[in-house]
Amino acid sequence: MTPQDRSERLRIDLIHAKHLEKNKLGDPADRNLAVLLPPSYHRSKTRRYPVAYLLHGFGGSAWSWATDFSTSAGPKWRSFVDSVDDFMRRRKCDQMIIVMPDGWNRWGCSQWVDSGINGNYAKYVAEDVVDFVDANYRTIPERTHRMVAGVSSGGIGAFHVGGSNPHVFGAAGIRSADIYFEVTHVPWLVSMVNASYPEGFAGPISGNGNSWFCYGLSAAYSPNPRKAPWYCDLPMRSPTCELIDDVWQKWLRFDPLVAYKDYLEGFRSMHIYTDCGSRDEFQFHLGHRILHERFEKARLRHVYEEFDGTHGNKSNERSLRTLQWFSSVLPGAKKRKRK
């Protein structure tokens, strides 16, 4: 995108989220909202567009999608907004509005779920954000023209936001999502216990990313308003690494391998896309394979794609693939393709 394109079509709005008010962590209820308008947006004052709501991962923010980034595996990549702008111009996907909410919190990410401690992030996306976008941009304000999608923490967020709000979203893109907690999350908890020894738990540990994960997930999955200043129950004992069953069961209720049963009815009215890299460092691909099998057993219509990659080394191209898939399930897509 040229500097002029960015100034005209990449918007950073400030919205007030009533569902994040008075959260125990003291995180702000006023949030940035990044909005990318499609290349054709200013050419017509009447055309309306479908909307893709994209949820960032742990440690991200609304602005993360718009910044250039690089990885140790390759050269510097363009920001996602530059990539998707080029994708639309080359007609690889439909022209659409891209909305990128802010899910950051004190611990790094809210997991995009409703919590009595963090605030109600699923309601914030489905109500505060969607209402604002429909009121301020030329959207097609119908569930059939809305997708919620995300990667990693944003992937499990899309699973829960979409599954609990099928009346708002007609499609969900669940990408490299946190899943299969017994295999993928227990090692993080063990790492935190070892890093906390011998003092025991006293909050996230500087330099130990797993401890930040664990406190963030606990605030989302097992909040406890009586336990200041962390306001959560951790599901593992120190120093023995024994799981605390009643707390662990609270966590498992958010694991897609368990929670999918609660969302099946809603998912049946939606288009569902899932993907994961076959070399995901967090082993999320194992859980995605199981979820695919369970979806098939439940005869739930969905698309599952497993690609040769790690957790994040193909983030841009897989996000673009999700937009391409969304274009294919929009009303009238087959008719447009025939033309």
Predicted pLDDT at 70: 46
Q: Does the pLDDT value for residue 319 go beyond 80?
A: yes
Contact 119, 20 (CB under 8 A): yes
Q: Does the pLDDT value for residue 69 go beyond 60?
A: no
The pLDDT confidence band at residue 77, using thresholds 50, 70 and 90, is low
The two structure tokens encoding residue 43: 């050419």
Q: Residue 159 corresponds to which amino acid? A: F
Predicted pLDDT at 54: 97
Closest Cα to residue 304, out of 266, 260, 265? 260
Contacts of 268 (CB under 8 A, 6+ apart): 300, 301
CB atoms within 10 A of CB 337: 9
Predicted pLDDT at 338: 44
Predicted pLDDT at 52: 98
Contact 270, 300 (CB under 8 A): no
Does residue 203 share a domain with residue 75?
Answer: no
Does residue 38 share a domain with residue 130?
Answer: yes
Does residue 203 share a domain with residue 89?
Answer: no
- The larger pLDDT score, comparing residue 335 to residue 113, is at 113
Does residue 142 share a domain with residue 287?
Answer: yes
The pLDDT confidence band at residue 165, using thresholds 50, 70 and 90, is very high
Predicted pLDDT at 326: 98
Tell me the C-alpha to C-alpha distance, in Å, between residue 106 and each of 109, 187, 209.
7, 22, 14
Predicted pLDDT at 73: 46
Does residue 233 share a domain with residue 140?
Answer: no
Residue range(s) defining the domain that contains residue 226:
183-252
d(CA 144, CA 227): 42
Strand duo 271-277 + 171-175: pairing: parallel
d(CA 126, CA 162): 8
Does residue 157 share a domain with residue 143?
Answer: yes
Does residue 206 share a domain with residue 171?
Answer: no
Does residue 192 share a domain with residue 146?
Answer: no
Q: Does the pLDDT value for residue 68 go beyond 70?
A: no
Predicted pLDDT at 239: 97
Q: Does the pLDDT value for residue 260 go beyond 80?
A: yes
Q: Tens of pLDDT along 278-314?
A: 999 999 999 999 999 999 999 999 999 999 999 988 9
Residue 167 is part of a domain; what is its CATH number? 3.40.50.1820
Q: Tens of pLDDT along 101-138?
A: 999 999 988 999 999 899 999 999 999 999 999 999 99
Q: Tens of pLDDT along 21-65?
A: 999 999 999 999 999 999 999 999 999 999 999 999 998 888 777
Specify the number of domains making up the chain. 2
If phi > 0 it is left, if psi is from -120 to 50 it is alpha, else beta; for residue 59 that is left
Strand duo 303-307 + 271-277: pairing: parallel
Contact 232, 213 (CB under 8 A): no
Question: Of 218, 252, 286, which marks where a domain is finished?
Answer: 252
d(CA 191, CA 210): 7
Contacts of 87 (CB under 8 A, 6+ apart): 93, 320, 323, 324
Does residue 170 share a domain with residue 71?
Answer: yes
Question: Of 252, 268, 296, which marks where a domain is finished?
Answer: 252
Q: Tens of pLDDT along 200-259?
A: 999 999 889 999 999 999 999 999 999 999 999 999 999 999 999 999 999 999 999 999
Predicted pLDDT at 64: 79
Contacts of 277 (CB under 8 A, 6+ apart): 176, 285, 306, 307, 308, 309, 310, 311, 313, 314
Does residue 243 share a domain with residue 137?
Answer: no
Closest Cα to residue 319, out of 176, 178, 145? 176
Does residue 82 share a domain with residue 161?
Answer: yes
pTM listed for this prediction:
0.94
Predicted pLDDT at 309: 96
Predicted pLDDT at 5: 83
What is the percent of the chain with per-residue pLDDT over 70, rounded to a whole number? 94
Does residue 198 share a domain with residue 162?
Answer: no
Contact 205, 195 (CB under 8 A): yes
Question: Of 224, 252, 280, which marks where a domain is finished?
Answer: 252
Predicted pLDDT at 167: 98
Predicted pLDDT at 62: 85
Q: Residue 293 corresponds to which amino acid? A: E
